[in-house]
Structure 1
Amino acid sequence: MLLASFAGPAAAADRHVTIVNATNDTMVRFYASNSGRTSWEEDILGDRILKPGQSVRINVDDGTGSCIYDFRADFDDGQKLTRTRINVCEVSTYRYTAN
């Protein structure tokens, strides 16, 4: 019974996250995959790009009910910034900044 009441809010949680490019480079690809997976899902940006200072709101829900995702942003200079174990049920905005 306790498990069911715990699982309820996560299952109903909003998994939309605004990704902000707070770097000095253009983001050319963005991936968000359930942390339990061993490979990246498809590029969420598709034909779009995110210039410095721009943002995009995405839905990272993969239908599994998971809240924990890994993010990877690829930039026009070849840099790849990976962030792991982001709780998309609690985070509504994620800012990518340079290392």
Structure 2
Amino acid sequence: MTKSLISAALVLAAFAVQSPAQAEDLEFLLYNDSSEDLVEFNISPASSDDWEDNLLAGGYLAPGYEIGVDIADGLTTCVYDVRGVFADGSEAEDYALNLCDLGEYTFTD
């Protein structure tokens, strides 16, 4: 794992420990199956009009790699919106995903 990928894992782990463990904590795998580095990843409850902070701040997820994401926001929802920004400036957004049922999310070209 590269230093930046390790940094991204630590950022995601830090996000998970910002609030106490809850039965509602959500864990899923994030895959980058695109041809570009994923440099920004935002996730927000579907009920929100704003994106939460970049969970990859200071890192990236290279093509062909995956990372575990823990959402410990204390909410009882499974329905989230996701947004990815890639090194080439392109963006991908997906809305109202039930991440409890999916267990993973994959960015593709």
TM class by smaller structure: 0.7 to 0.9
Which residue matches 1:90?
101
The TM-score normalised by the length of structure 2 is: 0.74
Which residue matches 2:7?
none
| 1:16 counterpart letter in structure 2 | E
Which residue matches 2:56?
45
| 2:40 counterpart letter in structure 1 | R
Distance 1:63 1:14 in 2: 7
Deviations 1:27-80, CA, capped at 9 Å, x for gaps? 000001000001000111121101110111111242121110000000010101
Which residue matches 2:34?
23
Distance 1:20 1:57 in 2: 9
- 8 Å CA contact 1:14–1:89 kept in 2: the answer is no
| 2:69 counterpart letter in structure 1 | I
The TM-score normalised by the length of structure 1 is: 0.81
Percent identity of the aligned residues?
A: 28
Structure having the higher helix fraction is: 2
Unmatched 5+ residue regions in structure 1? 1-10
| 2:43 counterpart letter in structure 1 | A
Which residue matches 1:3?
none
Which residue matches 2:44?
33
Distance 1:96 1:61 in 2: 22
What stretches of structure 1 move > 3 A for 4+ residues in a row? Answer: 11-14
Which residue matches 1:57?
68
Find the structure with the greater CA-based Rg.
1
- 8 Å CA contact 1:13–1:89 kept in 2: the answer is no
Greater CA deviation, 89-98 or 70-79? 89-98
Distance 1:15 1:72 in 2: 17
